Structure 1
Amino acid sequence: MGSKPWLEPAVTPPVAAEDPPRTKPQRVRPYIYVYDVKPDFSTDILQYRIERAHCNYRQFQHGNLTSWIGYNAYALESMLHETFLASEHRTFDPEEADYFYVPIMWACLFDVYGWNPLPRWPKEVHGPRPYGAAMMQLETVRWLNATFPWFARRGGRDHIWLTATDEGACCVFKDVWPGIFLSHWGRTEFPHTSGSQYHADNYGTGIYHRDHDGEWLDQTSRTHACFDPKKDLVVPAFKRTEHFRSSPYVGASPVERSIFLFFRGDLRLAPGQDPECKYSRCIRQTLYNRSRAENWREKYNVLLGDQATVQGDYSLLLSQSLFCLVAPGGVG
């Protein structure tokens, strides 16, 4: 990497689209096969978007230019798909694959449900967004089993799913749950109920339909936790590149990490924002109040607060921190 040797571990040139590749670097284990899924579950959903910026992290402009979308919480879906397609771990031979990535547009469907009457899963039901996404995922599994042998071989345990919405995999069907879930929501307790204050995202509404056995909650959230650390991974929500411009991993010069713990975001302290801590679970509020009461800033150089109490360049503060708090609830 020339004058920036710290980038070497973080940068991987794309492997040539040959199987096996005839150019370096060679592929490395584990091998991941990326399904070309049925358009109903992927590209069709992108076409039903009302807003061009929804579900994307970048757009292509005239003159072969790329413009970066400022913020889209669900953009990780398209970005991760592209990353797997160019990864040194990718294989074009499913028979040698260690894992299978299923690139359905789970999160993008949430956006579409809020704007467009189509598509629906099931077709005649406009239920909560988690129900629609879970039904689409279940239909994807049925399509996989009808089309390919690989899901059934291990009961889906080697299949990777991204559920990049607020409460992640809490509501997936039990037939899908053995798989590996990438989620923002590392909630492990069981039983559990939805913590969303937005009615369209509450997965606790009971629904009966002929496309699943009995009440859907008995086939989904009542059968498993939201997250299993033995098989699943917590992944960060997508943020605009402005957040990371001072990071040494995108080319900035490294700086001393003198801040022990850092968080700056919405504390949900205004009246009526989250009075029962239903979604935030009072984690950020409790830590903020304790840090002020016990002088954590002066004692340990811990910075916890909102924009009024923790000022400065956000990206630079991140790059100067040993640890960064990712707390549920709020919008930051």
Structure 2
Amino acid sequence: MVELQRTTKSRGFYVRMKLLHNRHGRQEKSSCYRYFRWVVWVSLSLYFFSYYLISSSSKPTLLPKTTVSVSKTSFVSRALFESNTTLSQQLSRTKQIHLSELSRGSFDNLKVYIYDLPLRYNADWLANERCSNHLFAAEVAIHKALMDSDVRTLNPWEADFFFVPVYVSCNFSTVNGFPSLGHARPLLASAVQLISLEMPFWNRSGGSDHVFVASHDYGACFHAMEEVAIADGIPPFLKKSIILQTFGVSFRHPCQDVENVLIPPYVSPESIRSTLETAPENGKRDIWAFFRGKMEVHPKNISGRFYSKRVRTVIWEKYNRHRKFYLKRHRFVGYQSEIVRSVFCLCPLGWAPWSPRLVESVALGCVPIIIADGIRLPFSDAVRWPEISLTVAQRDVGSLDKILDHVASTNLSTIQRNLWDPANRRALLFNDQVQEGDATWQVLQELSKKLQRSYRRRATS
């Protein structure tokens, strides 16, 4: 045994162990060998028996047809359900982890700091339920989603961008029920003054790495009437910042003359899911061309301005009695149930070129007919607008029937197939929590392309 304690080469060590084993371990070998052989035999038997059972159960011809009812739930079916549920939960957790890792990778480790402003700038407005559900509610939805997002940082010194959560579209007029924007400029100015006095981040960059939401008609101009919006212009204190806005056109316009990200109007994802669940099971669409909304018989309304640049008036006059057009001038809460039954959904401009019908049409599988010259559409990298919609010039609105007939006889099925890609619906809807590919995700993707505006990154580089 002393030899075992010497330092030797591996081969010499093996030879000495063999000699010692032959000298002292013959009896131990026989008993250990028999025990080892027995264990191997039992293991192999269990393995082949289990393999046989699994292989047999995988053959569909050997499975009896079964129906599981609530009244006859067995222990086995309950265990199967619980195991599937557990697996589903594990997959969900794995997806969340993957989503977290993917978001950090996709957004180039983007970090956003959210100012904790006094409640009068945001949460107090939520006392009115419409504030978080109307077409301008993207300002609320983005704030809520970012609060729970992986890109949020509680350390402002490591932030790339600073989100300023001020709700300016929730001051509803008691006269007509529409948002009143008269308070928007002083409310935003007050918020900027507050953050510039209490923290150093606004002053060091001049606000160039600060993000605001302007989710109403003419975006950063903060007025619903174009002429007034242009005359007022963008507030000077916001001209260096990034504006998330629903207004966008392909030509030069004073109200988009600022660094901006074009976002969709807000449509409740819950309402879309509910409508899809109650849609006709056969998927039949019995309405050819649909529009419900404000259509002035006399386009020059009480404000003295021509609503919709006369487009909706022409639609009403020309197609009100057309058998293929389903046109309604009065509001109807459940009008999404009409969209999901329609082949074509008219999306004419109103005061501004955009409309929530754009989102609702895409989400509910109705081909959007966009009638708004020069409109710029949100998230064009994610939503293939030319493949899922039809653009009609305002001057051609009188030929809508012929245009739609031509599309129906040529490439309608292709457009509908492209339209039903779930990625389109996902990209245009804001969720309470950021989901891969959804509208807030797209906002973060766009911000990650503007990291050259990050003061922190410029300083470190």
Taking structure 2 as the reference length, the TM-score comes to 0.40
Q: Percent of pairs identical after alignment?
A: 20
Residue 100 of structure 2 corresponds to residue 25 of structure 1: yes
CA distance in 1, matches of 2:94, 2:167: 24
Residue 145 of structure 2 corresponds to residue 83 of structure 1: yes
CA distance in 2, matches of 1:319, 1:153: 54
SS at match of 2:132: coil
TM-fit CA distance, 1:142: 1.7
- Count of residue pairs the alignment pairs up: 243
In structure 1, the partner of 2:156 is 94
In structure 2, the partner of 1:61 is none
CA distance in 2, matches of 1:189, 1:279: 21
Q: Give the one of 120, 123, 129 matched to 1:53.
A: 129
Q: Does the 8 Å CA contact 1:41/1:140 hold for their aligned counterparts?
A: no
Structure 2 unmatched ranges of 5 or more:
1-91, 223-233, 358-461
The one-letter code matched in structure 2 to 1:236 is: P
Q: Which structure exhibits the higher relative contact order, with contacts defined as CA atoms closer than 8 Å and separated by 6 or more residues?
A: 1
Q: CA separation of 1:275/1:176 partners in 2, compared to 1, >3 Å: closer, same or farther? A: closer
Q: Give the one of 244, 249, 274 matched to 1:245.
A: 274
The one-letter code matched in structure 2 to 1:178 is: K
Q: Does the 8 Å CA contact 1:33/1:100 hold for their aligned counterparts?
A: yes
Q: Does the 8 Å CA contact 1:163/1:169 hold for their aligned counterparts?
A: yes
Deviates more, 1:260-269 or 1:161-170: 260-269
The one-letter code matched in structure 1 to 2:129 is: A
Residue 306 of structure 2 corresponds to residue 227 of structure 1: no
Q: Deviations over 1:187-235 (max 9, x none)?
A: 67778xxxxxxxxxxxxxxxxxxxxxxxxxxxxxxxxx22248623142
SS at match of 1:160: strand
Q: CA separation of 1:138/1:189 partners in 2, compared to 1, >3 Å: closer, same or farther? A: farther
Q: Deviations over 1:85-118 (max 9, x none)?
A: 223433334344333221112122x23x759xxx
Q: Deviations over 1:141-186 (max 9, x none)?
A: 1222222233334332332211233443214411212322223333
Q: Does the 8 Å CA contact 2:114/2:152 hold for their aligned counterparts?
A: no
In structure 1, the partner of 2:292 is 264
Q: Deviations over 1:109-132 (max 9, x none)?
A: x23x759xxxxxxxxxxxx95342
Q: Does the 8 Å CA contact 2:279/2:341 hold for their aligned counterparts?
A: no
SS at match of 1:106: coil
Q: Does the 8 Å CA contact 2:246/2:265 hold for their aligned counterparts?
A: yes
In structure 2, the partner of 1:215 is none
In structure 2, the partner of 1:106 is 168
Q: Does the 8 Å CA contact 1:14/1:86 hold for their aligned counterparts?
A: no
Q: Deviations over 1:34-77 (max 9, x none)?
A: 42332154246337x5xx424234xxxxxxxxxxxxxx344333
Structure 1 unmatched ranges of 5 or more:
1-11, 17-21, 58-71, 116-127, 192-224
In structure 1, the partner of 2:349 is 327
CA distance in 2, matches of 1:251, 1:90: 38
Structure number, greater radius of gyration: 2
- CA RMSD in angstroms comes to 4.9
In structure 2, the partner of 1:317 is 339
Taking structure 1 as the reference length, the TM-score comes to 0.53
